[in-house]
Amino acid sequence: MANKHVLVLGAGQLARMMSLAGAPLNINISAFDVSSEKIVHPLTQNIIGHGLNNAIAKADVITAEFEHIPHSILDICQQSGKFRPTTQAIKAGGDRRIEKQLLDDAKVANAKYAVITNRAEFDDAITSVGLPMVLKTALGGYDGKGQWRLKSTTDIDATWSESQQSLSDTPHQAIVAEEFVPFQREVSLIGARRVNGEMAVYPLTENVHVDGVLSLSIAIDESELQQQAAKMFQAISDKLNYVGVLAIEFFDVNGKLLVNEIAPRVHNSGHWTQQGAEVCQFENHLRAVCDMPLGSTKAIRHAAMINILGQDTLPKEILAMPNCHIHWYGKEKRAGRKMGHINVCGNTQGELDKALKELVAILDESEFPELKQHINQR
Q: What is the pLDDT of residues 225-272, one digit of tens each?
A: 999 999 999 999 999 999 999 999 999 999 999 999 999 999 999 999
Tell me, what's the pLDDT at 142? 66
Q: Give the global pTM.
A: 0.95
Residues of the chain above pLDDT 70, percent: 98
Q: Which residue has the higher pLDDT, 210 or 252?
A: 252
| CA distance linking residue 134 with residue 340, whole number of Å | 30
How confident is residue 301, by pLDDT bands cut at 50, 70 and 90?
A: very high
Q: How large is the average pLDDT for residues 28-40?
A: 96
Looking at the predicted structure, is the pLDDT value of residue 297 above 90? yes
Looking at the predicted structure, is the pLDDT value of residue 165 above 70? yes
Q: Note the CATH architecture for domain 185-376.
A: 2-Layer Sandwich (3.30)
How confident is residue 374, by pLDDT bands cut at 50, 70 and 90?
A: confident
Q: Where are the domains of the chain?
A: 4-83, 112-179, 185-376
- As a whole number, the mean pLDDT across the chain is 95
Least confident range of 144-153, 189-198, 255-264, 325-334? 144-153
Beta bridge mates, 205: 188, 219
How confident is residue 307, by pLDDT bands cut at 50, 70 and 90?
A: very high
Tell me, what's the pLDDT at 144? 61
| CA distance linking residue 112 with residue 235, whole number of Å | 19
Q: What is the pLDDT of residues 312-354, one digit of tens each?
A: 999 999 999 999 999 999 999 999 999 999 999 999 999 999 9
Q: How large is the average pLDDT for residues 140-156?
A: 84
Tell me, what's the pLDDT at 168? 85
Q: What is the pLDDT of residues 43-82, one digit of tens each?
A: 999 999 999 999 999 999 999 999 999 999 999 999 999 9
| CA distance linking residue 101 with residue 209, whole number of Å | 26
Alpha helices (H) along the chain: 13-22, 52-58, 71-79, 87-94, 96-105, 119-128, 156-169, 223-240, 273-276, 281-289, 349-362, 371-376
What is the helix, strand, coil percentage profile of the chain, to 5?
35, 30, 35
Tell me, what's the pLDDT at 373? 85
Q: How many helices (H) and strands (E) does the chain have?
A: 12, 18
Fold observed for domain 4-83 = Rossmann fold (3.40.50)
Beta bridge mates, 150: 133
Tell me, what's the pLDDT at 249? 98
Least confident range of 22-26, 179-183, 363-367? 363-367
Tell me, what's the pLDDT at 72? 94
112-179 — its CATH code? 3.30.1490.20
Looking at the predicted structure, is the pLDDT value of residue 1 above 70? no
Tell me, what's the pLDDT at 378? 78
Beta bridge mates, 245: 192
Tell me, what's the pLDDT at 241? 96
How confident is residue 143, by pLDDT bands cut at 50, 70 and 90?
A: low
CA atoms within 13 A on the CB side of 154: 0
